[in-house]
Amino acid sequence: MAEKISGAVITRLPRYYRYLGELLEEGIDRISSRELSGRMKVTASQIRQDLNNFGGFGQQGYGYNVANLYDEIGKILGIGLTQNMIVIGAGHLGQAIANYTNYGKRGFVIKALFDINPDLAGYSVNSAPVYPLSKLEDYLKENDVKIAAICIPKTHSGEVAKRLTAAGIKAIWNFSHLDLDVPDDVIVENVHLSESLMKLSYKLNYESEKK
């Protein structure tokens, strides 16, 4: 990969991966960009253009081998690497994430949760223990974890993000309503649910009648 891949392309990759997974389940072993285009409601051209950022996975006159393309995109996305995670905040959202078993199937393993509330320490969620936040640095010294999900109020998330990156965390999945300020080599992926709901509200009130 010579040049930097655009964000728009990366955002679409997991969706390709999902559709290829569905095709596999349906027992379909080859697909053309045109057929996939019909299912995914994107242009065939965009599919070919996107995939060719990473290599020529198809074959003229044949199309793409589903299993092969699924694997290749999986590799690009780092699926199957076994990537350990921790979750900060064992409240509703933190527990929902820790309980969701599909992440594990993709290699994302939640090893522990951390909460400031001492009453939660000692519990475990989906066999991942909940530790007091004070144990964070010790834990990260002893365990190979690069990804942390932040599921605590914005009043605390800035401070916690600082501690996480200081302790070696390289990627933050951020559910709090704050744009985290992290070192250059740390990835932040935001999930701002309230903003998603406002977008829905905008569309509901201004766009739906026009269609």
Partner DNA sequence: TCCATATTGTTAAAAATTTTACAAAAATTA
Partner DNA sequence: TAATTTTTGTAAAATTTTTAACAATATGGA
Binding test (CB under 7 A) with DNA, winner from 1, 25, 26, 56: 56
Work out how close the CB of 33 gets to ligand NAD at its nearest, in angstroms, rounded to a whole number: 28
Phi, psi torsion values for 190, nearest 5 degrees: -90, 140
Q: Which does 127 bind (CB under 5 to 8 A by kind): a second copy, DNA, ligand NAD, none?
A: none
Which residue in the set 14, 38, 59, 117 belongs to the binding site for DNA (CB under 7 A)?
A: 59
> Smallest distance from the beta carbon of 134 to a second copy, in angstroms?
25
Return the residue of 28, 38, 39, 62 that touches DNA, per CB under 7 A.
62
* Range in contact with DNA (rule: CB under 7 A) among 40-48, 80-88, 168-176, 181-189: 40-48
Tell whether residue 185 is a contact of a second copy (CB under 8 A): yes
**What distance in Å separates the CA atoms of residue 189 and residue 173, rounded to the nearest whole number?**
5
Among ligand NAD, DNA, a second copy, none, partner that 160 touches (CB below 5 to 8 angstroms by kind): ligand NAD
Residue of the chain from 18, 34, 75, 135 that contacts DNA (CB under 7 A): 34
Q: How far apart are CA 46 and CA 10, in angstroms?
A: 13
195 binds DNA (CB under 7 A): no
Distance CA 67, CA 87 (A): 32
Query: Which is nearest to 193 in space by CA: 173, 207, 208?
Result: 173
Q: Which does 33 bind (CB under 5 to 8 A by kind): a second copy, ligand NAD, DNA, none?
A: DNA
CB of 191 to a second copy, least distance (A): 6
| Smallest separation, CB 155 to DNA (Å) | 29
Using CB under 8 A as the binding rule, whether residue 90 contacts a second copy is answered as: no
Residue 32: CB atoms within 10 Å: 16
Minimum CB–partner distance for residue 133 and a second copy (Å): 20
Interface residues with DNA (CB under 7 A) are: 6-9, 31-35, 42-46, 48-49, 51-52, 56-64
